[in-house]
Amino acid sequence: MKAINNPCEMVCKIKVDKIKPFYNICKVTGQKEECNIEIEYQPTGQLLEMGSYREYFKQEFNEYIETLTESIFNHINNLIHPNRLKVTVFLTEETLTPWSVTFEK
């Protein structure tokens, strides 16, 4: 993922809704899990560059969903240093547990 300068001077909240689903390989079963993500943040001087954001999720991950969520949260937090950040990763198959995990500051 890449960051770009924030052209706005006002404080705002940015919500990035679901993207095309991405895949995580389950550490327990070895099965491919279809996932999606929602991000909300209050930017400071940097914004997520959306092209690189979408590209980031074209890779396959191989983590527990809790670890995956924390990794994405930390990556975004370290990249753009937002005032507030909320990252939720959820499995699109609702019968899987846990169905979603959220990290927030």
pLDDT digits (tens, 9 = 90+) for 36-70: 999 999 998 899 999 999 899 999 899 998 999 99
pLDDT for 9 equals 73
| pTM of this structure | 0.89
Return the minimum-mean-pLDDT range out of 12-16, 60-64, 75-79, 93-97.
Answer: 93-97
Average pLDDT over residues 31-39: 92
Widest distance between CA atoms in the chain: 47
Domains of the chain: 3-104 (3.30.1130.10)
pLDDT digits (tens, 9 = 90+) for 7-16: 877 768 889 8
pLDDT for 28 equals 86
